[in-house]
Amino acid sequence: MAELLPTRAPRLLIATALAVGLLLALRPAAARAESASADQVCDPLADYYLGMEDYPAAIRRHNVVIRNHPDNALAYYHLGFALGMTGDHRQELADYQKAVDLGLDDWRLFLDMGLLYLKQARNEDALAVLRLAELLGPYHPETHFNLGLAYERLGMYGDARQETLWSLKLDPKQIDARNQLGVIYAEQGDFARAHDEWTALANADPQYQPARTNLAILERIERGDAKRPPRLAGLAQAP
């Protein structure tokens, strides 16, 4: 039986207040007065290169756009994304922050910042910006899923479970989210629910290796063949 989602109204009010405060703190005073226009556009050619995954060309063109329009927050965001795809994560983050400073309120910007922080194991920073991504894009399953990852990595399993359930409510077909829900159940000691999630995944898609790996680990623990390690290290999670 599927777990029911708890009411989130009190938590949402608190999280919203915290997120709004963080958003203001991330920006210099001059940029707080007027956010980037919701209909701000970048450059068609620059974005064509980005869409075609020609990242060197996208970087060159976005740099031209920024030289000509240094207040174009969207161009900084796109430039940061392209740089990140080439491995320059230091400058990627700097350009994301510049887009924030210029007033860009785009859930995808804060999601990408959060993904970068998660990759760098800066989990508290990831949590802060992913809360903003969720606030600005509450109907996008990826905001909830990645916020759940940040909570899980910080050992906040109740919040992690709730965000993962919300993500699955928005898109029930996410196999990585379903697997991650099993991980959270196992870390909370709810082995029965973890077993049910992974068994259902393995039966639905026998080629989905994370569920099979996690079932094998869980079955060894349940048989007593292996000790339960701290935070169940070794479970296959989302990349």
Lowest mean pLDDT among 18-32, 54-68, 127-141, 155-169: 18-32
98 pLDDT more than 80: yes
Q: Give pLDDT, residue 14.
A: 43
Q: For the residues 43-49, what does the mean pLDDT come to? A: 95
Distance CA 206, CA 200 (A): 10
Q: Using DSSP, state whether 28 is helix, strand or coil.
A: coil
- Write down the mean pLDDT value for the chain: 85
Q: For the residues 131-144, what does the mean pLDDT come to? A: 97
Distance CA 79, CA 200 (A): 41
Band of residue 220 on the pLDDT scale cut at 50, 70, 90: confident
Tens of pLDDT, residue by residue over 198-219, are: 999 999 999 999 999 999 988 8
Contacts of 21 (CB under 8 A, 6+ apart): none
Tens of pLDDT, residue by residue over 51-60, are: 999 999 999 9
Q: What angle do CA 8, 151, 4 make, to 5 degrees?
A: 40
> Tokens representing 198?
């992974």
Q: For the residues 226-237, what does the mean pLDDT come to? A: 58
Distance CA 158, CA 109 (A): 26
pTM over cut 0.85: no
Band of residue 41 on the pLDDT scale cut at 50, 70, 90: confident
154 pLDDT more than 60: yes
If 0-12 CB within 10 Å is exposed, 13-18 middle and 19+ buried, where does residue 87 land? exposed
